Amino acid sequence: MSRQDFDVHFHVHMISDSTGETLMEVMRASAAQFEQAHPIEHLFALVRSERQLERAMAHVEDYPGIVMFTMVNADLRRRLEDRCAERGIPAIAVLDPIQATLSSYLGAPMRGRAGAQRALDADYYRRIEAMNYSMAHDDGQGDDLPGADVILLGISRTSKTPTSIYLGHRGIRTANIPIVPGSPLPDILFELEEPLIVGLTASPERIIQIRRNRLINLKEGRDTGYVDEAAVREEVVYAKRLFARQGWPSIDVTRRSIEETAAKVINLLNEHRGEA
C-alpha cells in the first residue's frame, strides 16, 4: 500500500532567524496541494545563536520529518545543513531560489540581514495604518470613504469583511458597505471617483447555505427572509443590476478563497490606478 492510499501525518520543522511567518505561509501553501497530507507544525523563530539552533535540532531529531529554514548567518546555516545531512533529514532553504534569481538579475549581492523584510520602514507603517482604516470602516462604519483605496459592496455573506481585512494587511485601505434591502447606500458613494468600488456577489445557493449555518451558530431556529430562497435571489439580482448600472466591476466569490478574491481586487486596483 502506498502513502497515497491513506492520510499521512508528518512533522515539519520550520527554523528561522526571523519571525518564521514566511516559512509558515510557504509550508502551508505547499502542503495544501496534497489532499491527504497533514503536517504537524514545529516553529522555531528568532534562531540566532548556536544554543538556540542546538535546541531546535534536538527537537528535530526527536521528531524526524522535513526541515524548512531561512538562515542568513553562514555558520549557523552550515551547522544546520551538516546536522540534517548526517541524519538523512531533508532540509530546504525555501528562499534560496528566489534570492539567487534576484541577485543574478539585479547584479547585486544580498544584504544578509536577518528579518530584513520586517524592517520598520515606511511600508510597514503604511500596512498598519491600512489595517486600522479597514477595521474602522467595516460593515458601513466610519466616515472617511474618500480616503479609501478600495470600497467593497455586497449583500450579507459575500465575504466583505475578511476580504477587507486581508487587503488591509496588504497595505490597501479598504472599506466595506453592506447592501441591505430597503436601506439606501451613502449618497457620497455615487460621487466618488478616486476609490475603486467593487461589488461582491455569490450564487443564491451559496449565500443561503452560509446564512443558515450562521443562524445555527446563533441558535436562531426561525425561518426568516434572511434565508428565504426567493428573497435571496432578489437580493442577488438587485446587487448585480446596481453594479452594472453604476459601472462598478464585480467579482463572483462563490468558488473563490479570500486570497483569490483579494488578488482579483488588487489587479482591478492596479488597472484603475493606471487609467486614472
Question: Is residue 111's pLDDT more than 70?
Answer: no
The pLDDT value recorded for residue 85 is 94
Give the chain's mean pLDDT: 88
CATH 3.40.50.2300 positions along the chain are 8-106
Q: 87 CB contacts (<8 Å, ≥6 apart)?
A: 61, 64
Is 111 labelled a binding residue?
A: no
Q: What fold is seen in the domain 122-275?
A: Rossmann fold (3.40.50)
Q: CB-based burial of residue 214 (10 Å sphere; 0-12 exposed, 13-18 middle, 19+ buried)? A: middle
Asked whether the predicted pLDDT for residue 5 surpasses 60, the reply is no
**What is the pLDDT at residue 128?**
83
- Output the CATH code of domain 8-106: 3.40.50.2300
- Per residue in 17-63, pLDDT (tens digit) is 888 888 888 898 888 888 788 899 999 988 999 999 999 999 999 99
User: What is the structure's pLDDT at 1?
Assistant: 39
Quote the percentage of the chain above a pLDDT of 90.
62
- Do 249 and 268 meet the contact criterion of CB atoms below 8 Å apart? yes
Q: Please write the tens of the pLDDT for every residue from 135-154.
A: 999 999 999 999 999 999 99
* Helix ranges restricted to H, the chain: 21-31, 50-62, 74-86, 96-106, 122-136, 160-169, 204-217, 229-246, 258-275
Q: Output the nine-digit C-alpha cell for 9.
A: 501525518
**Annotation-wise, does 159 bind a ligand?**
yes
- Does the annotation place 219 within a ligand binding site? no
pLDDT of 66 reads 95
* pLDDT single digits (tens) 201-257: 999 999 999 998 888 877 776 667 789 999 999 999 999 999 999 999 999 999 999
Residue 160 counted as an annotated binding residue: yes
Residue with the larger pLDDT of the pair 182 and 155:
155
Residue 161 annotated as binding site:
yes
Sort 197 into a burial class: Cβ within 10 Å, 0-12 / 13-18 / 19+.
Answer: buried
156 labeled part of a ligand binding site: yes
> What is the mean pLDDT of the segment spanning 113-126?
60
* Vertex 101 angle, CA 97 and 107, to 5°: 145
Residue 59 has what pLDDT?
A: 93
DSSP string, 39-79: EEEEEE-S--SHHHHHHHHHHHHHS-SEEEEE---HHHHHH
pLDDT of the residue at 193: 86
